[in-house]
Amino acid sequence: MSKYYPPIDKEKQFNCIHCGVFAKQKWSVLCFGYHNANVSPITFCTCEHCNGISYWYEGRMLIPAEAPVPPPHPDMPAAIVQEYQEARGIFGRSPRAAVALLRLAVQKLMTELGEKGENINTDIKSLVAKGLPVQVQQAFDYCRVVGNNAVHPGEINLNDTPEMGQHLFSMLNFIVEDRITRPKQIAGLYAQLPEAARAAIEKRDA
């Protein structure tokens, strides 16, 4: 996945909150009244790629709901996209509530990966036994530990360290990229091999 550049007040380019494309942004001040004589404290930003508009006040995005986090991975299962998008929509107002939703998304993702989805820790252990790479295991455990602290009182205060919750979005996208996208891409390329070659490979490994 390419690097995500979140929307930042007055930045000239970032990933658009509407289309997700890294594009140039044009900033203007919202005016009203006869001949726009009155200047408001509201600024607005127009994406040069999709013409989508966002409205800002005192350095914070007001409309759409502030979501300085990456959009869901294109291959993210539909079963968890709703939780992910809802978490994006409320992250600016309540990182703790957003992370709690992401914890639910991780639990649902486990069933998509063939696990029971009843206990995230147990599911991670099962995936590790099946050969889960260390980096993906660490990403899962990051989601698990930070998510648990959002649901139950713990050592992590997400209202004091919202960046920890912010990383959770990237971690979830990373897991989807590794567990869903890459296998799908490799399977697609493998399917393009001549049938005789694939038959020979299957015979070799039988």
Please give the single-letter amino acid code of residue 155.
E
Distance CA 205, CA 40 (A): 70
Residues of the chain with pLDDT under 50: none
Q: Residue 149: its pLDDT value, please?
A: 77
Share of the chain above pLDDT 90, in %: 53
Q: Which position has the token pair 């294109």? A: 74
- pLDDT given for residue 154 in this prediction: 64
**Cβ 124 vs Cβ 156: under 8 Å:** no
Q: Can you give the pTM of this predicted structure? A: 0.73
Report the C-alpha gap between 93 and 17 in whole angstroms.
17
What is d(CA 166, CA 147) in angstroms, rounded to the nearest whole number? 12
CA distance 199 to 194: 9
pLDDT of residue 95: 83
pLDDT for position 37? 67
- Looking at residue 193, its pLDDT comes to 93
Q: Report pLDDT for 160.
A: 60
Spatial distance between the Cα atoms of 191 and 16, rounded to a whole number of angstroms: 35
pLDDT value of position 155: 64
Q: Give the pLDDT score at 21.
A: 86
Nearest CA to 73 out of 32, 29, 109 is that of 109
pLDDT for 46-60, tens place per residue? 999 999 999 998 888
Beta bridge partners of 56: 43, 61
